[in-house]
Amino acid sequence: MKQVFGVVVQPGTTRDQKKTGWRIYKPHFKQVDCIGCRACHRCCPDGAVYRIDKKKFDSDMDACKGCGICAEMCPVDDIEMVLEGKPDEDNS
Ligand code: SF4
Ligand code: SF4
């Protein structure tokens, strides 16, 4: 299936605001089956995904709002959304 990427003109413009309290789910980068396609990196609207190695990515929990786009876009299901905990807890 063809993947079409949207354009985020200025990603990460809200990076100065911690998103910890926003999330119900947070992405867990399993770092097992990653093929290094960078779909997660390119699609994150907050610029929260960062590269550790060629086939190893993770997300900055201070910037992530838990939208789940990265997990949806990962072609090998190497990202899963997991329950964050109570929204008012600081789980960073
Ligand atoms: S859940 Fe959303 S904000 Fe968080 S890293 Fe994935 S795409 Fe970015
Ligand atoms: S979308 Fe999935 S396979 Fe592609 S770089 Fe991100 S974690 Fe790796």
Q: With respect to residue 34, please indicate whether it lies within any of the assigned structural domains.
A: yes
Q: Which two tokens stand for residue 71?
A: 């997990």
Look up residue 6 and give its DSSP letter: -
Q: With respect to residue 17, please indicate whether it lies within any of the assigned structural domains.
A: no
Task: Report yes or no: 46 and 64 within 8 Å, Cβ to Cβ.
Answer: yes
Q: With respect to residue 60, please indicate whether it lies within any of the assigned structural domains.
A: yes
What's the pLDDT at 22?
Answer: 76
* pLDDT above 70 (res 4): no
Q: With respect to residue 88, please indicate whether it lies within any of the assigned structural domains.
A: no
CATH number of the domain to which 33 belongs: 3.30.70.20
Number of domains within the chain: 1
Question: Using one digit for the tens of pLDDT, what is the confidence trace for 20-67?
Answer: 677 899 999 999 999 999 999 999 999 999 999 999 999 999 999 999
Q: Which residues contact 41 (CB under 8 A, 6 or more apart)?
A: 49, 50, 51, 57
Rg of the chain on CA atoms, in Å: 13
Q: Which of 8, 19, 40, 59 should be mutated for ligand 1, with most atoms under 8 A from CB? A: 59
Name the residue with the closest Cα to ligand 1, atom 3.
64
Q: With respect to residue 33, please indicate whether it lies within any of the assigned structural domains.
A: yes
Nearest to 19 by CA among 50, 72, 60: 60
Closest listed ligand to the CA of 41: 2
Name the residue with the closest Cα to ligand 2, atom 3.
34
What's the pLDDT at 21?
Answer: 72
User: Domain of 42?
Assistant: 25-83
Q: With respect to residue 91, please indicate whether it lies within any of the assigned structural domains.
A: no
Q: With respect to residue 7, please indicate whether it lies within any of the assigned structural domains.
A: no
Q: What average pLDDT is seen over the chain?
A: 85
Q: With respect to residue 65, please indicate whether it lies within any of the assigned structural domains.
A: yes
